[in-house]
Amino acid sequence: MTKRPLEILDQVLNRQPVIVCLKGGREIRGVLQGYDVHMNLVLDKVEEEIDGEVRKLGTLIVRGDNVIYVTPSVE
């Protein structure tokens, strides 16, 4: 049976890093700590790579209307 998108997020919650693609071409990676039906996200251990340099951003709250997609990270 096909899983619903929020069920897939439940599987990675507090378990493995996710990649979040944001409007404006930004992409961040972190551990999903929580979310809601509006796709507001709480991420921990967030990193962003810009021009080959990795910036550690710590904990972030991302507003759902900025999220294009969320996918489990393959490491």
Question: Which tens digit of pLDDT belongs to each residue from 3-61?
Answer: 677 777 888 888 889 999 999 999 999 999 999 989 999 999 999 998 889 999 999 99
Q: What is the dihedral of CA 48, 63, 19, 11, to 10 degrees?
A: 140
CATH class of 5-72: mainly beta
Helix (H, G, I), strand (E, B) or coil at 11: helix
Q: Model's pTM, two decimal places? A: 0.86
Q: Could you state, in order of their start, the residue ranges of all structural domains in the chain? A: 5-72
Q: Are 71 and 19 in contact (CB under 8 A)?
A: yes
| CB neighbourhood size of 30 (10 A) | 24
